[in-house]
């Protein structure tokens, strides 16, 4: 069976490799509290831009939100004179809150995520007993991407690929010769994302990663997180398909699906839940909006006991 979406993505990467003007300008902003990288991706010709995976600061102990991370992105966009076309999420993150609504209010752009976010909304809507006022149809977002859907950032060509496994709704966004792969793989020396959240699946994750690694070897791969790795003291978030295929400790060429599933499943069993999973998921399934305020005007984050 031919994978038409992957073929289209390959053509976009190849064209950008031939012609520098088809390659995006990329800035990564690293948040040390959650180890997350936010990207601003823009077209040098038109100055149109996309923001991918933004971070809202959140202090768990006080329940306070902050905008320092988002302001860094905002300052960069303003300084470069960019016009934001897209505010994108690769998935509903479980380790940080999204600043998408804050950035969208200041900068505009369409808020987008993968269409299977409705499945994540369904699963977590139940876990958090979110009530009937919580719409589980993705309507909190302006656009829901499907596998193989094309988009543009100014004159740059982009395509969305559905890469489930970490969550059912993960998307990778290919723009020119760059692939923003969210939580699929990490740096080669660190490996891959966990697949044990509700709706996650190690087998699917393997298939999604191997699919991405069929892109041309020169494809630049941009990761959503970095945690350093034994023997490496600096954070890093860019690699290539060639490097991942040769060196990724979990999914380099030659690792079989069964071997991966065995490794991933046993490793996931040892991992603690992310610090911010409770607030993150409740906010991120709402497109980054806090839960509806109660009758005193205050929003509350719930903690389901003995559920996760
Ligand atoms: Fe994630």
Residue 22 phi/psi, 5-degree rounding, is -90, 5
Which domain, by its residues, includes 262?
4-283
Query: Is residue 17 situated within a structural domain?
Result: yes
**Closest alpha carbon to 93 in 291, 272, 278, 292:** 278
- Written as six digits, the tokens of 1 are 């069976």
pLDDT in tens, 39-62: 999 999 999 999 999 999 999 999
Residue 225: predicted pLDDT = 97
Is 159 among the domain residues?
Answer: yes
Look up residue 139 and give its two tokens: 């309507």
Q: What is the CATH number of the domain that holds 143?
A: 3.60.15.10
CA distances to 14, 26, 55, 112, 113 from 41, in Å: 18, 5, 16, 15, 16
> H helices of 129-248, where?
202-212, 241-247
Output the CA 85–ligand 1 centroid distance in Å.
Answer: 23
**Distance (Å) from CA 157 to ligand 1 centroid:** 25
Q: Report helix, strand or coil for 151.
A: strand
- Asked whether residue 137 is domain-assigned, the answer is yes
Angle between the N-to-C axes of helices 257-268 and 202-212, in degrees from 0 to 180, rounded to the nearest 10: 130
Can you state the angle between helices 100-107 and 68-80, rounded to 10 degrees?
A: 30
CA of 144 to the centre of ligand 1 (A): 18
3's CB contacts (< 8 A; 6+ apart) are: 211, 214
The number of domains in the chain is: 1
Helix (H) or strand (E) holding 180: strand 178-180
Report CA(124)–ligand 1 centroid distance (Å).
14
In a domain, 308, yes or no: no
* Residue 281 CA to ligand 1 centre (angstroms): 10
Q: What is the largest CA-CA distance in the chain?
A: 58
Q: What pTM was estimated for this model as a whole?
A: 0.97
The segments of the chain whose pLDDT lies below 70 read none
- What is the DSSP annotation of 109-125? -EEEEETTHHHHHHHHH
121 lies in some domain? yes
CA of 66 to the centre of ligand 1 (A): 20
Quick check: is 302 in a domain? Answer: no
Q: How far is the CA of 95 from the centre of ligand 1 (A)?
A: 6
Residue 294 within any structural domain of the chain: no
C-alpha 296 – ligand 1 centre gap (Å): 32
Residue 160 in any domain: the answer is yes
């Amino acid at each position: 069976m031919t994978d038409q979406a992957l073929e289209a993505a390959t053509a976009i990467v190849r064209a950008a490799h031939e012609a520098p003007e088809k390659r995006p300008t990329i800035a990564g902003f690293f948040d040390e509290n959650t180890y997350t990288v936010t990207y601003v991706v823009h077209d040098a010709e038109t100055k149109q831009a996309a923001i991918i995976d933004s971070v809202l600061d959140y202090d768990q102990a006080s329940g306070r939100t902050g905008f320092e991370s988002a302001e860094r992105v905002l300052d960069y966009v303003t300084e470069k004179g960019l016009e934001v076309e897209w505010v994108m999420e690769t998935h509903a993150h479980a380790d940080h809150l999204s600043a998408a609504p804050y950035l969208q209010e200041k900068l505009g752009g369409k808020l987008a995520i993968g269409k299977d976010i409705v499945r994540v909304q369904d699963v977590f809507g139940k876990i958090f007993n979110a009530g009937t006022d919580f719409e589980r149809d993705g309507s909190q977002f302006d656009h829901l991407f499907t596998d193989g859907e094309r988009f543009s950032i100014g004159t740059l060509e982009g395509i969305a690929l559905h890469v489930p496994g970490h969550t059912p709704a993960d998307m990778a966004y290919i723009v020119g010769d760059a692939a923003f792969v969210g939580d699929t793989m990490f740096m080669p020396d660190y490996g891959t994302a966990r697949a044990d959240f509700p709706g996650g699946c190690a087998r699917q994750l393997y298939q999604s990663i191997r699919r991405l690694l069929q892109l041309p070897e020169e494809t630049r791969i941009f990761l959503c997180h970095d945690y350093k790795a034994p023997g490496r003291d600096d954070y890093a978030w860019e690699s290539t398909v060639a490097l991942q295929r040769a060196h990724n400790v979990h999914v380099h060429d030659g690792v079989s699906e069964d071997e991966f599933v065995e490794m991933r499943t046993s490793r996931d069993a040892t991992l603690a839940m992310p610090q911010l999973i409770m607030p993150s998921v409740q906010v991120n399934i709402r497109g980054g909006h806090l839960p509806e305020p109660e009758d005193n005007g205050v929003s509350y984050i719930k903690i389901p006991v003995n559920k996760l």
